[in-house]
Amino acid sequence: MDKKATWDRFYAESSRKTFKNFEWFFGFETVQNFIMPVLQTMASPDARLQVLDMGCGTSGLGPSVYQRCPVPVRVTCGDISPVAVRLMQEHVRAKAVQPGNCSSQLDFVELDCTQLHKHFGPTSVDLIVDKGTTDALLKSEEGKRSAGLVLKQCLKVLRHSGSLLQFSDEDPDARLVWLETKARSARVTVQEVGEWRGVCYYCYQVTPLSQLCNTD
């Protein structure tokens, strides 16, 4: 699950006929009430918010944020698979997707999530959305080390006022312990998203401690 070639084959095969967004767990509609309020609280009249959909695949989440967000955002949809990136670029062009704010921007980039610093500067991103990417790594025998690197990279590129939202089916008894161990310079909270097909999903929010200090 952590191999580039694996994902290239997966997305190539899944789009062999008619293109359809592939959603891990669920789509934007299910999690919009977790994402949009965070963006609204961060809104600034002077600049676009920098949003990263990390490990986007062919999900419609990033384009939906671009379409629905009333405040200016620059949404970067990043994935390790160039096949997924190309498919999404073609799909968005064909659909002529329009922004929720005329100043918003939508980009698709080939991106290794363990090396975010090569694409983003330190403390430059306002919101990172991780819908199943860390889960895929943690469930891979060789991906557990990579999952830790991804979290470290997220904290490096997040602004002090930013947040990482992880959507996962992993129980808080396990994920909270892992996050709190790996992200000692951050505060971790959890909310239940809901239950689908007998599986309960959660939203883990990771917030740099410097943000909390600034609001005390």
All structural domains of the chain, each given as residue ranges with its CATH number in brackets, are: 29-38+48-208 (3.40.50.150)
Distance of CA 116 to the CA centre of its chain: 12
Q: Return the residue matching tokens 């698979």.
A: 81
φ, ψ dihedrals at 51, nearest 5°:
-120, 135
Mean pLDDT by 10 residues, the chain (216 residues): 67 74 90 96 88 95 97 96 93 92 96 95 97 90 86 96 96 95 93 93 92 45
H/E stretch holding 215 reads helix 209-215
| pLDDT reported for residue 212 | 46
| pLDDT reported for residue 115 | 95
| pLDDT reported for residue 15 | 67
Q: How far apart are CA 109 and CA 140, in angstroms?
A: 24
| pLDDT reported for residue 21 | 81
| pLDDT reported for residue 84 | 92
Going across the sheet that includes 105-110, the strands are 105-110, 73-79, 49-54, 125-131, 158-168, 199-208, 186-196
Tokens of 187: 């505060």
Torsion angle of the four alpha carbons 16, 21, 25, 29, in this order, in degrees rounded to the nearest 10: -160
| pLDDT reported for residue 8 | 72
CA distances from 205 to 4, 89, 102, 192, 196 (A): 27, 29, 29, 11, 21
| pLDDT reported for residue 13 | 74
Q: How far apart are CA 207 and CA 216, in angstroms?
A: 14
pTM higher than 0.85, yes or no? yes
φ, ψ dihedrals at 20, nearest 5°:
-145, 135
Tokens of 28: 């934007």
